[in-house]
Chain A
Amino acid sequence: MDMHHPISSPDGQNAAQDTPRKERLVVVGNGMAGMRTVEELLAKAPGRYDITVFGAEPLPNYNRIMLSPVLAGEKTFDQIVLNSRAWYEENAITLLTGEPVESIDRAAKTVTSASGRVVAYDRLLLATGSMPFIIPVPGSTLPGVIGFRDLADVDAMLAAAAKGGRAVVIGGGLLGLEAANGLRVKGMDVTVVHLMPTLMERQLDPAAGQLLQQELERRGIAVLTGADTAEIVGGEQAEAVRLKDGRLLPADIVVMAVGIRPNMALGKAAGLECGRGVKVDDAMRTSDPAIFAVGECVEHRGLTYGLVAPLFEMAKVLADALADGEGSAYTGSVTSTKLKVTGVDVFSAGDFSGGADTEEIVFRDPARGVYKRLVLKDNRLLGAVLYGDTKDGGWYFSLLKDGADVSAERDTMIFGQGFGGADAGNPKAAVAALPDSAEICGCNGVCKGTIVKAITDKGLTSLDEVRAHTKASASCGSCTGTVEALLAVTAGDAFTAAPAVKPMCKCTHHSHDAVRAAIVAQNLRTMGEVFAALDWTTADGCASCRPALNYYLLCAWPGEYADDYQSRFINERAHANIQKDGTYSVVPRMWGGLTSATELRAIADVVDKFAIPTVKVTGGQRIDLFGVKKEDLPAVWADLNAAGMVSGHAYAKGLRTVKTCVGSEWCRFGTQDSTGLGVKLEQMTWGTWTPHKVKLAVSGCPRNCAEATIKDLGVVCVDSGYELHVGGNGGLHVRACDLLVKVATEEEVLEYTGAFMQLYREEARYLERTAPWVERVGLDHIKRALVDDAEGRAALHARFLFSQRFSQDDPWAERAAKGVDRHEFSLLAKVG
């Protein structure tokens, strides 16, 4: 047996005769407080204990406060994992996940898990966290009523959001609003029901609460304040929320986010002294000296905490106690709050209720949506509320915690730190001016001095290294900018602001994925809004980011976003392909590769009339006319239109061709009508805009004459139905398709194709073809979205068809007959 494996090891009499048996530390709870304690302990006293960790969730340790960004689609679960399973192994910690502990035997010093496992301890740490408080109204136990606490809750919300419909969030506090925003971003109709007259009343004063309400309403979230829930109505499932005033709010899901309750059941059952939580002293020890507790499950000096900073402060003290250090004591925390709703900046700290003996400094700029209120008493800062501009939150918070006398800066402090100085607005200078004791990272309680020392002593040059060594900026991330400024000041030229992800282009440090997520999350509707919200470094982008942004906006807001013509590559402006001599090539659409005598005659006539030098049959079963002068394009199109032909979009990042073989209509091997199916696919998909070009094909039998298995999506007909293959292409890096699924009917082929197109449209990066996209995200991801999830597939297909309503106008006819973009095809002037 593994030497450091404590499970069911005998009491140690024979375990090691030469060295004394290590003490056994059992941690109940694999959350942020428990694991932070273990991390601190490993740093202070490595190897001191044999450590076993029980986690109720079947997951490694993750950053729970980042669940809101996961819900909003701004982060993935992998990005919020704090310690992977490998970390536990490296540190010789036994991790038992999906295994809640059910009882403690204090006399025998053992714990028993739900699976019946019994583990002995010398010291036990309870870090059981908290549970969402579910208001005990009728119906509160119906399926469809969920809290917002763990990944399972997020998954439940995402599953509900995938179906669309309505969500009612009960509770207009921090968590409730983050949940509401996430569900809204995911496309649900969201109503927030809040008992108090203004939102987040524990963190915000009424003025800021109202500003926040207006912002949420602007994002399409309905807010009902002063609304008291009477019951949740439903049969087998929650269907509506009834308020005490009689209003009935239909709901497909109900999220209860009215607060949390310390999870002290285990400690209470074991006879530990409990109040609102498990009671602990200043060393985090419970009424049993062998048992400690940390985090949201504890009551300390009559207070319970639900924010991350106090938990981490407790963890430090507790690690000292476990390492048998002396002198450190937890004396309670002053807390500050930030709302993690992207684009909504809210900060508060301290006591801002005001009162007879306090004074207030208030700043309002309604046009910019900025509100700041500082509450002072005897020239010391008592509380601060910031809305819209929170960059000085950290400064106010440190003044507040230090109880500093602010008479000197009182006149200008509302305008922020360093106001009026030569370096006002320069973040590097502001950070350089901070004292070493200034707290930079509120979550982890890391001061400037600690970070500077780590950078200098260890030669750190990147944000990730600073995070690894000091924890600064490793939790909610809102101090990242300050930490980077500190790095730049301290490490100087050595600091490489090398982002972990590749930026879209030189105009921004954001990646394609981050920009896409922000467009949806922050409801950015125009390119100008993207530039402003995401701090573009150029006034109007560049030839690389503009076409990408234009596509992302078009995809996010079908029918609403006005296409930015000047952000398209010339081929998509001229609706033809530019050639090396500045002439263009013209490819009319031939549905499924079919043509006719009329069409061929019209093409021949156009070639003669406009003296078109080269006519070529393409690889996609169409005819390409080369060497057309730009000024002639509208007239060429007019003649082709007259014969019933439309644009083939051979120039577009969009659907190009649907290549077919003749199939069962003529071929003696054909199993299905591949040509007819190809025509139907082309009729459904033509005109769409996609991240890169898309080519489809349908082969009538497995001999695969249409080369369907090197297409973005290829259908291979067989006797019993249709095989769908995806993610192939010819070209520089040939990739054969992966088999996605086999279906029985043409209707299913059409639905899968629409859904696949839409998934590609929504997820792939601009100029990323399906082949590299499939390799990047993995076939399993695509199967999960399309094959395993019938409702998700139908929803994708429906979104595809919806977007097609705005893209299936023949651009040639618009230009040939209606004079659209006439300037594109005419000279401004002739001189001389």
Chain B
Amino acid sequence: MDQILSALPKTGVAETGVAATSAAADTLWTPVGRVEDIPVRGSRVIRTPDGDVALFRTADDAVFALRDRCPHKNGPLSQGIVHGQRVTCPLHNWVIELSTGEAVAPDVGNAGHIPVRVEDGAVSVALELATAARGGCKGACHV
């Protein structure tokens, strides 16, 4: 993974938002930045052709990625408050498990979860392995 790291502008990605190169040998894992670029108990956004992905960093430095759309009404989960291994959506307070994307009961749905790899502080995501989002009321209810 060291090669990938050196191929990445260390802070440039975070600061300027330029496209990350796909020059890495490992095509499954796309490098997106470093753990310290994500605030502790906070989130950053990656823009992809399939929509935004939210990267979360918990208090104990675990990193997770979800589609940046709440299964309820598409609220940007990246803007929520991170607590434990969960995030609370800023629009209507649905709580989503970071490790799976599942909505916490009584709500039902899944935001869609993307595998994350952290090596020597470098974060990469496997967008191809994303699980499908599921459920939510898609606007049928008026919460």
Contact = CB atoms under 8 A, between A and B. Distances in A.
A829 B21 CA distance: 10
A547 B81 contact: yes
Contact of B88 (A543, A823, A827, A831): A543
A578 B90 contact: yes
A115 interface: no
29 contacts: A538-B84, A539-B84, A540-B59, A542-B88, A566-B39, A567-B41, A567-B81, A568-B81, A569-B81, A570-B90, A580-B91, A581-B74, A582-B76, A822-B15, A823-B42, A827-B17, A828-B32, A828-B55, A829-B14, A829-B17, A829-B20, A829-B33, A830-B18, A830-B46, A831-B19, A831-B30, A831-B49, A831-B127, A832-B49
Contacts of A571: 90
Interface string B4-27: 000000000111111110000000
A827 B42 CA distance: 13
- Interface SS, B side: mixed
B96 to A, nearest CB: 11
Interface in A510-552: 538-543, 546-547
B13 A829 contact: yes
A566 B40 CA distance: 8
Contacts of A578: 76, 79, 90-91
B134 interface: no
Interface in B18-65: 18-20, 30, 32-33, 37-42, 44-49, 55, 59-60
Contacts of B79: 570, 573-574, 578, 582
Contacts of A543: 80-81, 83, 88, 93, 95
Interface residues of A, number: 30
B132 to A, nearest CB: 19
Contacts of A77: none
Contacts of B38: 823, 828
3 shortest interchain CB distances as A-B pairs: A543-B88, A828-B44, A543-B81
Contacts of B115: none
A823 B14 contact: yes
B81 A546 contact: yes
Contacts of B45: 827-828
A539 B82 CA distance: 12
Contacts of B76: 578, 582
A806 interface: no
Nearest to B37: A828
A506 to B, nearest CB: 11
B48 A831 contact: yes
Contact of B32 (A540, A573, A831): A831
Interface in A777-832: 822-823, 826-832
A87 interface: no
Contacts of A539: 59-60, 84
Given A582-B76, A582-B79, A828 B33 contact: yes
Interface centre among A543, A574, A580, A829 (most CB of B within 10 A): A829
Contacts of B19: 829-832
Contact of B80 (A540, A570, A827): A570
Interface string A275-317: 0000000000000000000000000000000000000000000
Given A566-B41, A823-B14, 20 more contacts: A540-B41, A542-B88, A543-B83, A547-B81, A567-B81, A569-B81, A570-B80, A574-B79, A578-B76, A823-B37, A823-B39, A823-B42, A826-B15, A828-B17, A828-B33, A829-B13, A829-B32, A830-B19, A831-B127, A832-B19
A565 interface: yes
B26 to A, nearest CB: 14
The CB with the most chain B CB atoms within 10 A, among A539, A540, A826, A831, is that of A831
A541 B81 CA distance: 10
B133 to A, nearest CB: 16
Interface in B68-110: 73-76, 79-84, 86, 88, 90-91, 93, 95
A757 B116 CA distance: 47
B5 to A, nearest CB: 14
Contacts of A565: 39, 42
A830 B39 contact: no
Interface string A550-574: 0000000000000001111111011
A387 to B, nearest CB: 32
A157 B90 CA distance: 46
Contacts of B83: 538, 540-543, 546
A121 B139 CA distance: 79
Interface in A108-127: none
Given A826-B17, A828-B33, A566 B82 contact: yes
Given A543-B88, A566-B40, A827 B46 contact: yes
Contacts of B30: 831
Interface string A125-156: 00000000000000000000000000000000
Contact of A569 (B13, B73, B90, B127): B90
B88 to A, nearest CB: 3
B81 A831 contact: no
Contacts of A823: 14, 37-39, 42, 44
B21 to A, nearest CB: 10
Contacts of A830: 17-20, 46-48
Nearest to B34: A828
A580 B90 CA distance: 10
Contacts of B41: 540, 566-567
Interface string A564-597: 0111111101100010111000000000000000
A364 B46 CA distance: 53
B91 A831 contact: no
Contacts of A570: 79-81, 90
A71 B14 CA distance: 53
Nearest to B58: A540
A826 B88 CA distance: 21
Nearest to B33: A828
A565 B81 CA distance: 10
Contacts of A831: 19-20, 30, 32, 46-49, 127
A567 B37 CA distance: 18
A547 B90 CA distance: 13
Contacts of B15: 822, 826
A580 B20 contact: no
Nearest to A826: B17
A529 to B, nearest CB: 15
Contacts of B59: 539-540
Given A567-B81, A582-B76, A828 B91 contact: no
Max chain A Cβ within 10 angstroms of own Cβ: one of B73, B88, B90: B90
A580 B13 contact: no
Contacts of B17: 826-830
Contacts of A574: 79
Nearest to A827: B17
Contacts of A569: 81, 90
Interface centre among B55, B60, B83, B86 (most CB of A within 10 A): B83
A167 to B, nearest CB: 41
Contacts of A538: 83-84
B42 A566 contact: yes
B127 to A, nearest CB: 7
